[in-house]
Structure 1
Amino acid sequence: MTHRKARPTTKGALGQTGFFSVIRARRSVRKFLEKAIPGATVRKLWCPPSKKKYKADFLAEAPVILVVCVDSSRAHGRHFETGLIASAYLLLSVSALGLGSTFLTAYNVRKPAQAKELKKILHIPAPFVPISILPVGYPDEKPRSKKLRVLRDILHYDAF
Structure 2
Amino acid sequence: AKVAGLEGEPDVRRIDPGTSHGYAIPNRGLPSTRFLPKTGCDASGNACDVQSMPPCPKEGCDLPIDTKFEASWGCLYARGVPEDKQKCALTGQGNPSTYQDWWDGSAVDGWTLPFSVLVDDSGRGLTPDAVGSAPVCSPVVCARLLAAAICPTAEFLTPDA
The TM-score with structure 2 as length reference comes to: 0.23
Higher relative contact order (CA 8 A, sep 6+): 1
Which structure dedicates a bigger proportion of its chain to helix? 1
Larger radius of gyration: 2
The TM-score with structure 1 as length reference comes to: 0.23
